[in-house]
Structure 1
Amino acid sequence: MESANKKKMTLVALILMIFTSVFGFANIPRSFYLMGYSAIPWYILSAITFFIPYAFMMAEYGAAFKSEKGGIYSWMDKSVGPKYAFIGTFMWYASYVIWMVNISSSIWIPLSNAIFGSDKTATWSLLGLSSTQTLGLLGVCWILVVTITASKGLEKITKVTSVGGTAVALLNIVLLIGAVAVLVLNGGHLAQPVAASAAFTQSPNPSYQSTISTLSFLVFALFAYGGIEAVGGLVDETENAEVTFPKGVTIAAIIIAIGYSLGIFLCGIFTNWQEVLSVKGVHMGNVAYVVMQNLGYQLGKGFGLSQAGALTMGAWMARYMGFSMFLALTGAFFTLCYAPLKQLIEGTPKELWPGKMAEVKDGMPKNAMWIQCIFVIVFILLVSFGGDAASKFFAILIEMTNVAMTLPYMFLSAAFIAFKKKESIKKPFEVFKNHTWALVATVVVTFTIGFANFFTIIEPAVHRKNERHNMDACRSSNL
């Protein structure tokens, strides 16, 4: 009776739910840093070839397996088989381990911005170590503290840190109002000029000039649309799902694609790529804070403040962003250090887990969490003591995260055609009414993800080969 009385989601509520699950503010300044205005067409292409069809696939899976406890493992097991399901689910879980490696070392950037109003992590040093190694050690301390705290079942901390999520959401409004104000105050002049249509096809970033590096950006656009797996479970909670759900997903995808595209364009209103982002010390880990600090600075200048006043305004903008991002990431970290692991253990057969590894106490897989903690520490130390400079360090971490978190999508999308062919699976909700459309969607989505990851993986190798070739050419010309 309770479920019958439960109020179902309207179209507007569904769109808002998808938007909050998928839209990530930090993707906007990062995309502008990598590609400038030319990031915009890639976001539109990704929405068409990945986001919309993939969301419909997740909706069909979610409706068919809504009573299954094992999440995506059950989806792939029932569609293809247990081996395929385990590989896909393990890769999905491994992506969160890579995410934890990334955040353990990069969470200090928002904290630095919250305290100092700018990213000072490049100057941090413990025991005479370099800044990259220092951040690695701080990351080790962070994962230890989180594992100790979370293994005691202290889930309430995520409720406190959800305040950060709201503050990050408000950043979108700050960016919109702030950029429009700068545009008006500067008499309609754009900081990053749009000289011709080439501005939307060519990146100002020297590292993103080749075809391979430009194509590798596609994985960033795909990653920005991540999080739609959660949408799969919303079908049965939606009012008149057959009509409302496809409409909601399509509208949400259009809003998110426009939101990202508009956000990237807004960055160009107040940020000149050469003057602000090509400066030494700006990298993938801190570019979002640099851009927001610059927004505060440009607003201060527009309002006629002195140089010192404008810099102070910029520092406070960076503090706001740093504080809200730190809280949001802390909340996400506490949840993700146990939730994916718990789903992996509970969703897969018990025989796969040796000894007491699969044991769940106080709602937490404590033994498995400590094994996970050791893995994360080893990864952090390998990456941070690998000898690369800070900018390369964060680029490696972020690219590792992007690839790791998008590869499992391939397993889910590739299994979709098998799912559609199995008549024994009851499908109460279908967007792809015939096998032809299901096959087209499977091929397009799987190819898009594979294509993007292929170029992301080979791009650094090609880049290094070109660097070596240029060095050899320099050496031979000096002889």
Structure 2
Amino acid sequence: MASNETETKNKKLTLIALILMIFTSVFGFANMPRSFYLMGYGAIPWYIISGLTFFIPYAFMMAEYGAAFKNEKGGIYSWMEKSVGPKYAFIGTFMWFASYIVWMVNICSTIWIPFSNAIWGKDVTSTWGIFGLNSTQTIGILGMIWIIFVTFTASRGLEKITKVTSVGGIAVVLLNVLLLVGALIVLVSNGGHLAQPVVSAASFVKSPNPAYSSSIGMLSFIVFAIFAYGGIEVVGGLVDQTENAEVTFPKGVTIAALIITVGYSIGIFMCGIFTNWNTVLSSKGVHMANCAYVVMQNLGFELGKSFGMSQASSLVLGAWVARFMGLSMFLALTGAFFTLCYSPLKQIIEGTPKELWPGKMAEIKNGMPINAMWVQCIVVVLFVALVSFGGDAAAKFFSRLVLMTNVAMTLPYMFLSGAFISFKKKKEIVKPFVVYKSKFSTWLWTILVTFTVGFANFFTIIEPAVDGNLTDTIWMIGGPLFFAIVAVAMYRRYEKKYIGKDEKTAV
């Protein structure tokens, strides 16, 4: 029995297992139809560029951090604190944590779209209304109820509900298979003709979406491509679990990155096989939050036609494909929501000095930061109320939430990549795994990765203002800026109260 346990403990990740872990952590199904909605085939080059200038080099940075600090409890806070300093680390980590708050604001409102698809086979959220409220306000109320319910359930230690994640995960894998096989069946049935024609090389550059047809619009799309590669931070903790890490790890990351980049590119192209942008995606009811369901419903409809079914039967098949996708995404998002309502919060509280947190926020009860979870819940409720009762139409409401999430969740990447040069300079930090062996390669890739993320966010933020929509720009700046101010205020309070003037740590 003891020898079996030792054997299990000593089991290391093989190349294939490592590639699969990276793939499942990063690859997101909805990114493909959403990217097709925004840019058409024009999304493909941006995924390749972002993969080369951000995804692969950033993954190697995370691997170096993870190997050097594998015994540290505080995760990315420890990485930045030991590389740069506690103030920089706290602001960067707080921004990372805040990005999950913005994610929750987004999901507790948009989760009703997969729910609607699962029940009715289409998005009917724009018709919802209670107590004389419009659909946007109704969804906002439902979102507030959802975050309160999740916080109440998770704070009682009932996190076992996250098992729905695995069920949702399996269903999302089947969705990828359905997209690939279904698109090929439609292609053969249509005699090799694409629903979204490739007129020339310009089809892979210019977007059919008027909102993304300008140069600034196209450049702002990079943040979506970077966001699609999110989740690579998990790689940091896998180095010491990998067999023959010096050789296997860089090979695994490179292969996984290539598979993910090519996978996204093929998936976007597959959407064009059965979806004509102007016919299917240009109508007023289609927006960033529901376009994936519209695309998959259309796949079901086109499959029905390929099988010789009647128009009515094809529409029914389309509705069932949308239901399957709705159920899959609802289960996956529910599981992720339950985990993320306490996991990032627990990590930041356990990793940072307890004195940083006012009152009893740092208290952990039954393995959960209960007090902090309820404060987080109130913040999410306030943000949902602000966005949903702002008076905009549903399409603008969902677009604003998605844009806020993309900017908020990619900004912390700049803190981590920005700290990498300091990390490499510090000789006292033992680095058992090294990819960037020269000073030149360290500087080159740090600048390139940080610039890519900064460049993408800059164009995403200014794009609405250039088009005369200053409100969206303010919202995208407002979310991250609010949390940055909160982080600075918290650290200043901690400095004044607990650190002597002479001992103040420089950033």
Structure 1-normalised TM-score? 0.96
Partner of 1:474: none
Partner of 2:68: 64
Amino acid at match of 1:333: F
For 1:175, what is the secondary structure of its paired residue? helix
1:414 aligns to 2:415 (yes or no) = no
What displacement does 1:161 show? Answer: 3.5
- The separation in 2 between residues aligned to 1:232 and 1:51, in whole angstroms, is 13
Instruction: Identify unmatched segments of 5+ residues in structure 1.
Output: 468-479
Partner of 2:269: 265
What displacement does 1:466 show? Answer: 10
- The separation in 2 between residues aligned to 1:314 and 1:94, in whole angstroms, is 38
1:117 aligns to 2:124 (yes or no) = no
Identity of paired residues, percent? 75
Partner of 2:344: 340
For 1:128, what is the secondary structure of its paired residue? coil
Q: Is the 8 A contact 2:464 2:470 kept in 1?
A: no
Instruction: Identify unmatched segments of 5+ residues in structure 2.
Output: 472-507
Amino acid at match of 1:132: T
- The separation in 2 between residues aligned to 1:264 and 1:72, in whole angstroms, is 33
Partner of 2:311: 307
Partner of 2:218: 214
For 2:467, what is the secondary structure of its paired residue? helix
Spell out, residue by residue over 1:341-393, the C-alpha distance to the aligned partner (whole angstroms, 9 max, x if none): 00010000111012211000011000000000000000000000111111111
- The structure 1 segments of at least 4 consecutive aligned residues displaced by more than 4 Å after TM superposition are 1-5
1:136 aligns to 2:145 (yes or no) = no
For 1:50, what is the secondary structure of its paired residue? helix
Matches within 5 A, 1:179-190: 179-190=183-194
Partner of 1:101: 105
What displacement does 1:465 show? Answer: 5.9
Q: Structure 1 pair 399/141, CA: closer, same or farther in 2 (3 Å)?
A: same
Partner of 1:171: 175
Please say which of residues 153-162 and 298-307 is displaced more in the overlay. 153-162
What displacement does 1:160 show? Answer: 3.0
- The separation in 2 between residues aligned to 1:466 and 1:133, in whole angstroms, is 22
Instruction: Return the match for 1:230 from 223, 231, 234.
Output: 234
Partner of 1:471: none
Q: Structure 1 pair 385/309, CA: closer, same or farther in 2 (3 Å)?
A: same
Instruction: Return the match for 2:150 from 133, 146, 149.
Output: 146
1:386 aligns to 2:386 (yes or no) = no
1:197 aligns to 2:196 (yes or no) = no
Partner of 1:328: 332
What displacement does 1:78 show? Answer: 0.1
What displacement does 1:206 show? Answer: 0.5
What displacement does 1:159 show? Answer: 1.1
For 1:170, what is the secondary structure of its paired residue? helix
For 2:12, what is the secondary structure of its paired residue? coil
What displacement does 1:6 show? Answer: 1.9
- The separation in 2 between residues aligned to 1:369 and 1:3, in whole angstroms, is 38
1:15 aligns to 2:58 (yes or no) = no
Partner of 1:55: 59
Amino acid at match of 2:267: G
Spell out, residue by residue over 1:424-447, the C-alpha distance to the aligned partner (whole angstroms, 9 max, x if none): 000000000111101111000000
- The separation in 1 between residues aligned to 2:169 and 2:469, in whole angstroms, is 41
For 1:464, what is the secondary structure of its paired residue? coil
Spell out, residue by residue over 1:157-190, the C-alpha distance to the aligned partner (whole angstroms, 9 max, x if none): 0013420111012111110000000001111110
- The separation in 2 between residues aligned to 1:457 and 1:51, in whole angstroms, is 21
- The separation in 2 between residues aligned to 1:99 and 1:345, in whole angstroms, is 19
What displacement does 1:240 show? Answer: 0.5
Matches within 5 A, 1:429-448: 429-448=433-452
Amino acid at match of 1:241: A
Instruction: Return the match for 1:424 from 422, 425, 428.
Output: 428
- The separation in 2 between residues aligned to 1:361 and 1:316, in whole angstroms, is 44
Spell out, residue by residue over 1:62-88, the C-alpha distance to the aligned partner (whole angstroms, 9 max, x if none): 000000000000000000000000000
Amino acid at match of 2:324: Y
What displacement does 1:3 show? Answer: 6.2
Partner of 1:80: 84
Q: Is the 8 A contact 2:164 2:332 kept in 1?
A: no
Structure 2-normalised TM-score? 0.91
